[in-house]
Amino acid sequence: MYRIETEGWLKHYDFILLDILCLHIAFVLAYAASGQGWNPYEHMLYRNMAIFLTLADLLVIFSMDTLKGVLKRSMYAEFIFTSRHMAVLMAFSLLYLFVLQQGSAYSRMVLFLNFVFYAVLTWMLRLLWKNRLVKKRGCT
């Protein structure tokens, strides 16, 4: 009879999981595009970076409230939010590499391609997922 709406960040757990999935797909694609192979997780530096990126992505999602009003945003607004999210995540990554003094060992091409791929994949997947949810909500 009554339906309890989920509040807070749990309301968009699907978008959070899709963002993390896009981040790791972009990470592997960037590593492969740099010509180093298909498994960045076999190198300790890249494995640590993947763990850091996952945690930093969650931190950025929650601290910047990236997913607030995600279903109501236009395509352009979603691009702006995704770009802002990606820029903050990239700044955290650069800071991480700088603090650990691993910037010279980590491929800059992988770093920048990762964020280009991540921005495009996340933006497109968010738009597709929102479209699916809106259609599903309209049918029921």
Whose CA is closest to 126, among 52, 89, 72, 62?
72
Q: How many CB atoms lie within 10 A of CB 118?
A: 26
Question: For the segment 37-87, what is each residue's pLDDT rounded down to a tens digit?
Answer: 899 999 999 999 999 999 999 999 999 988 888 888 899 999 999 999 999
Q: How many CB atoms lie within 10 A of CB 29?
A: 19
For residues 26 and 139, what is the distance between their CA atoms, to the nearest angstrom? 33
Strand ranges (E), 1-140: none
pLDDT at 71: 86
CB 58 within 8 Å of CB 67: no
- Using CB atoms within 10 Å of the CB of residue 63, give its burial: 0 to 12 exposed, 13 to 18 middle, 19+ buried: exposed
Indicate the pLDDT class of residue 12, thresholds 50, 70 and 90: confident
pLDDT at 1: 44
In one-letter notation, the amino acid at residue 30 is: A
Residue 4 has pLDDT above 60, yes or no: no
7-26: average pLDDT: 87
